[in-house]
Structure 1
């Protein structure tokens, strides 16, 4: 007879229930609730994420198939479609948003890794649009016949987990989310061309942080100093001020303009930064790591349920996205705590087919048990979390 609890019940032990209960109390999430609590709702949503359920009906069918195990899984005695649907529609999404923020902090704390050996963190900020059917999600109007939401993410490049997530309607320009970023003194923030908002960049400069942004081709700088002996691939390296009135008003300080040519295809990249001392190679290296946030977006869209939603209201969509982030951080924490050499993708695949098994987690991830998880699912894996 197996003495170990179910795999899913072992995963739940990595969650801080006391913290979650305090958040629920803060928002009165369980007020007048007798059985299906916010905690039961969170575990149900996480079960759906880990088992790759495509719809609410699909999730409930899976739960009914394991009805006799639900109590021991920690989910509760029973889960009905109406209970879960009503909970996602009516319960405050901020409960799950705040707990996702907590899980992000826990994952980052455990996965500190000073790749660049800098005093501050290195972040990449970008956004991705999640398309929605306008006839179903009427609140998410994007274009005339198209709906969607935008997921803005501040990604910790060294810890390889998100540091901040912000959700807006898809018609909000990416740069409008910049004021919401929790900036830190001494940190480096990397942006693509959509973030040439010099007022917000000046905010970063004023607090003593650094930015690197890919500039548009029509940017105009009046040089004050420039380097003459340039490394290979560096076309220009000057320090100066903006010449255009609005730009100079938004950013009146000196900044650095770098033009770097890619030796492989000859494409020239223009960067603006307030780091006036670092080498051009180092600035270029930091920007190349911005691609990690793109991999993160690709990864969660492929392997977590944020493209097919289990509810149609804005509240339900937000809850599902935050539960996906919580699940992502949980797996990252497990990978670190158990010192697993597998990628998070492989861990998710193993968990997805083992949630109701009775075995110890350490035995579950024994490589002799699952040698070819990728081959079994015939799936490619983005280069993320590969240790």
Structure 2
């Protein structure tokens, strides 16, 4: 494959140095380095995620082969420690805005599904004492909102590993979409807030198994339930001072192991089967987390400071957004006989053995200007 299709070269076309300079100006970040700049660090972290390098020392040996400016591992470590991770967070959300499509296919659902969840990355307590967990561990969380119908990252934020997931939800939710989440986000007081805010936040969220239902009224049906659904009713949730002010809908079904799955929602116009289908889409974010951990080296934290850790993680997610964009646009461009699955595209792109039609597509659309 022509060298113009390697990841760092494509990144230089999609996110040129001027973009990073702009965000650095917003954050008042001054880069006085000449030998290894913030932009060089960004390209290094991107290649490190994509090629699954094992750390700064490993990356030092591989940089030149990837067309990167070579420095020693101590310079890499110091740079990653000094650059505010907020810069990489802004770059990620800038990439999301660049790459996410503006259109969506109709699914018979009035709004898109926005699945929210978190993944935890852990290490020994001695490596990150600022992020302690129970026992002799430390860790951080990435909280992600995923547009399920498109497989696109929508929003991301970070916390240390011991922060409850519910605290991150306000920064991820979007009243233009249906929020889908697991039990960690099932706080009853938040349900009332969703119902009362100026533009109502619709949701399908799993409830805890010990949830108390106050004055349930079963919904009338003309046909028996399909699949594993057992109940569909409205009620207030909780009791005493924790009782919700509003009535919400509850749909109860069984998982494959015959354990109860209790769903709370304020969607009253869909069938119980549709509510169950919406919640089942939450599994897509688990697939997403598994993919990025397997393919973008996320569990392998290079540094130990917040800037180094979060900067690496945000850059890895940026690489995912770019790969997904290249895949979606490529499959829409090449002939049907040359179309690939995302897994095939990632493997072939990594090995630089893409079919000729894909190589032409990448060269035509992502060859950088001569001044880069």
TM-score range normalised by the length of the shorter chain: 0.7 to 0.9
Structure 1 segment 205-354 matched on structure 2, within 5 A: 205-206=195-196, 207-221=199-213, 222-224=215-217, 226-229=219-222, 230-232=224-226, 233-242=228-237, 244-248=239-243, 251-261=244-254, 265-339=257-331, 341-354=339-352
CA distance in 2, matches of 1:8, 1:129: 27
Unaligned runs of 5+ in 2: 363-372
Equivalent in 71, 76, 79 of residue 79 of structure 1: 71
Deviation, 1:134, is 0.9
CA distance in 1, matches of 2:143, 2:8: 32
Equivalent in 125, 132, 145 of residue 116 of structure 2: 125
Contact 2:330/2:361 (<8 A) preserved: no
Structure 1 segment 97-176 matched on structure 2, within 5 A: 97-109=89-101, 112-114=103-105, 116-176=107-167
Contact 2:216/2:234 (<8 A) preserved: yes
Contact 1:107/1:330 (<8 A) preserved: yes
1:12 aligns with 2:11: yes
SS of the residue aligned with 1:96? Answer: helix
Contact 1:4/1:360 (<8 A) preserved: no
Deviation, 1:118, is 3.0
Contact 2:51/2:296 (<8 A) preserved: no
Deviation, 1:98, is 0.5
Task: Name the CA shift for 1:203/1:342 in 2 (closer, same or farther; >3 Å).
Answer: farther
CA distance in 1, matches of 2:229, 2:5: 57
CA distance in 2, matches of 1:203, 1:116: 27
Comparing 16-25 and 274-283, the one that deviates more: 16-25
SS of the residue aligned with 2:128? Answer: coil
Contact 2:8/2:43 (<8 A) preserved: no
CA-atom RMSD in angstroms: 2.7
Deviation, 1:13, is 4.7
Unaligned runs of 5+ in 1: 366-387
Matched pairs, number = 350
Contact 1:211/1:274 (<8 A) preserved: yes
1:362 aligns with 2:356: no
Contact 1:30/1:37 (<8 A) preserved: no
SS of the residue aligned with 2:76? Answer: helix
Task: Name the CA shift for 1:347/1:228 in 2 (closer, same or farther; >3 Å).
Answer: closer
CA distance in 2, matches of 1:36, 1:257: 56
For normalisation by structure 2, the TM-score amounts to 0.85
